Amino acid sequence: MNLPAFSVCVYCGSRNGNLPDYANVARQVGTWIGQHNGQLVYGGGNNGLMGIVAQATADAGGLVVGIIPKALQTIENTRTACTELHVVDTMHERKHMMAERADVFLALPGGIGTFEEFFEVWTWRQLGYHDKPIGLLNTRGYYDGLLQFVNNSVSQGFLNDWQMDLILSGTEPASLLQELVQAAGFAPEPQLAGL
Ligand code: AMP
């Protein structure tokens, strides 16, 4: 098996959400990662968009690194088929390992777990704990309200433009992934079938 060219840490919902487009973009993200010889780093579960992105990565020939806290194995329905599965003791350990193993971060639509993870890597970046690109996939305007809220924080003097510049938002999975991976210094090329 080839060594992966880069690692994408994906944060996303443990549910599917109400619109079929959420599952569609999760599939597109996983497919893009696999087709570009990338590696997915994620929470290690089979539920919701998390399971869809992992399955799509594997189906497209990509490596899947799942990192799940011991206590969440049942509730999050561990994906035992991960290329690498790490069962860790705590949520902090999970998040730390996910961040360490990533070259870039991408948040898809999700719930409070996704929000928390996205904000955590954003705050870590503003503090200089890492310098990895961070993306927000705004499928069907799911994150419009959040972006409006943080832009309001800029207007109100609690955030600066340079902090906003630390995140990239977009609606097209392939172009956003390409932008993130290039910003991390990689030049992703699609794998040619059969070569
Ligand atoms: P959600 O977006 O709420 O569906 O959760 C997506 C993933 O985020 C799940 O694997 C959760 O275990 C994980 N997660 C990470 N940090 C938290 C947190 N502080 N609260 C809830 N879920 C979390």
pLDDT value of position 193: 54
Domain presence at residue 189 = no
pLDDT value of position 73: 97
Q: What is the pLDDT of residues 50-99, one digit of tens each?
A: 999 999 999 999 999 999 999 999 999 999 999 999 999 999 999 999 99
**Which CATH number covers residue 98?**
3.40.50.450
pLDDT value of position 1: 56
The number of folded domains in the chain is 1
What ligand 1 atom has the least distance to the C-alpha of 112?
3
What is the SS3 assignment for 39? strand
User: Which domain range does residue 159 map to?
Assistant: 6-183
> To test the ligand 1 pocket, which listed residue (15, 96, 114, 136) has its Cβ within 8 A of the most ligand atoms?
114
Predicted structure pTM score:
0.96
Domain presence at residue 75 = yes
SS (H, E, C) 127-193: CCCCCCCEEEECHHHCCHHHHHHHHHHHHCCCCCHHHHCCEEEECCHHHHHHHHHHHCCCCCCCCCC
Domain presence at residue 190 = no
CA–CA separation, 193 vs 195, rounded Å?
A: 6
Cβ density class 149-160: b for 16+ within 10 Å, e for less: ebeeeeeeeeee
The single-letter code of the amino acid at 85 is: L
pLDDT value of position 194: 47
Domain presence at residue 193 = no
pLDDT value of position 190: 85
Report CA(116)–ligand 1 centroid distance (Å): 7
Report CA(192)–ligand 1 centroid distance (Å): 36
- Ligand 1 site residues, Cβ closer than 6 angstroms: 13-15, 43, 45, 72, 76, 91, 110-114, 116-117
- Low-confidence stretches of the chain (pLDDT beneath 50): 194-195
Domain presence at residue 70 = yes
